[in-house]
Amino acid sequence: MMYNVATWSGTNSRVTVKNITIKVSLLSSADKYMAILPIDTGRYGSPEIKLIFEERSRLRYQLDFEGVVANAQAQINIIPADVAREIVKIVNSGKVTLERVRELEANSDHDTAAVVEALSEKCSPKSKPWIHYGLTSNDIIDTTISMQMRDVFHIIEPKILNLASILANRSVEFRAQPAVGRTHGQHTSIISFGLKFAVWAAEMATHIERIEEGKKRFLLCKTLGVVGTGSLMGKRSLQVQKIVAKNLNLHSVDAATQVIPRERIAEIQFLLSLVGCTLDKIANEIRNLQRTELGEVAERFVKGQMGSSAVPVKRNPIKSEKVSSLARLLRSLVDVALDNIPLWHERDLSNSANERFTLPMGAILLDEMLISSISSIDNLKVNTHRLTSNLDMTNGQIYSEFVLDALVKKGIPRMTAYRDVQRVAFSVKNGQHFRDAIMKDSRIARNLSSEDLIYIFDPKNHLGASSQIINHVVTKVRITRKKYLHHESKPVL
């Protein structure tokens, strides 16, 4: 077979592309394509979340939808009950195969029509007229998307909660550990190291709230036909839609054209990206704190692991770097989803092709990011010695906030005290400790006793309300988890 840039022949051949010769092993006829994207190779994402988007699973969702619609229509006497029973029987029989759907699509150039035709082939003449009755392609497509994302969140939400719990536990572990707080990359004040984990834990719990609140808006079912009027089923179309939505554990769309409004899809994509951004925020902090100069944390490094092919001593934060890398791709998918909102009239196809990429990619990428983040945080090594030594890096100047506060409480005007503290701090030379410089400054020293200075320069006295904040977050995570588990324990109707 001859191509413009390459010649293929035999089972083990050479491909010449622009004077570059590469030896390749060709696929057998049974294996038409090799994996191209890393998602397809098994590199990213759990098997269970990838299964949701596999072609046979997608066909399964579509057939299930057709069966549930037929049952709903029979329930209110739109189609005969025995017809609905046959359609459901064929749907569940496994007789409608992906191979046959592909064959039909090759002829019709319409994937949804091919599904309907393949189903029709297996039904009796009596049932054929009632298959897909009153529906349009995007009733199947959009409701299938909702079914897929329903199951995606069933996989992702427990991982978010797991990460929230791990973060909450680590916040308790380090609640009493003073550490450097940094703004603009500079030492600014003292923070409870546990508070870092608590901030992240609270946000992960809030993501669960966001997703749960959003489900009624974006896990939608549509059975309203070609332009959203329910034209063939008439007023009963709303009743059919309500029954189908309930049986699929979805929600009825309020109003639609031929498609469910793409604002709903954009919200899903945004929520996936928002969770990913929080994971990126966590990963960024780990990467920064693992810098050689800081050395406050380190990702687990197991026996046999290699950090560099050239430098044997390297221990890189590879899990966090992967999270940050995938987050960039995940965020970019939101722009595509937003561009899909303004379709022409009652619809066009400009959204269709890209949604086959964006939703599966978004779900699978976030799943991988959660897996990596859980492993990273659960096994994160915290170097308390470096946390303490970094506090002393500025020779006590990190306590300037508390020196200022002590002077204000002694009755010194705030800006006068501010300028005095700043003047002394900026005049310190040759490694002199800030405390010693203060004691030698007559304007400040006369207002602060030795007991005042002992209290001021003890980092454990400056954790503020950290312990209460951490307790509040731990409770929030626990309540969020309990609510979610209670909700998930309800049977899917």
Catalytic residues: 184, 308
Query: Which H or E run includes 15?
Result: strand 12-17
Point out which residues pair with 183 in neighbouring strands: 186
User: What does the buried/exposed string (b/e) look like for 186-209 if buried means 16 or more CB atoms within 10 Å of the residue's CB?
Assistant: ebeebbbbbbbbbbbbbbbbbbbe
Alpha helices in 379-441 (DSSP H): 384-391, 400-409, 414-427, 434-440
| Cβ(367)–Cβ(45) below 8 Å | yes
Cα–Cα separations (whole angstroms), residue 363 to 186, 204, 368: 36, 16, 9
Owner of token pair 């309990």: 482
> Dihedrals φ, ψ of 421, to 5°?
-65, -45
Residue from 453, 447, 424 nearest 437 by CA: 424
What's the rounded Cα separation, in Å, for the pair 141 and 87?
Answer: 19
Contact yes or no for 473/198 (Cβ under 8 A) = yes
How far is it, in rounded angstroms, from Cα 265 to Cα 149?
A: 10
Question: Is residue 215 classed as helix, strand or coil in its secondary structure?
Answer: helix
DSSP type of residue 22 = E
Which residue(s) pair with 221 in the sheet? 252
CB 226 within 8 A of CB 136: yes
Q: What letter represents residue 305's amino acid? A: Q
* Distance from C-alpha of 313 to C-alpha of 114, rounded to nearest angstrom: 58
CA distance 301 to 312: 13
Angle 239-244-249 from CA coordinates, rounded to 5° = 130
Give the chain's count of helices (H) and strands (E).
Answer: 19, 8
Alpha-carbon distance 415 to 137, whole Å?
70
Spatial separation of the C-alpha atoms in residues 467 and 479, rounded to whole Å: 18
The DSSP 8-state label assigned to residue 27 in this structure reads P
User: ∠490-491-493 over CA atoms, to 5°?
Assistant: 125
Three-state DSSP at 21 gives: strand
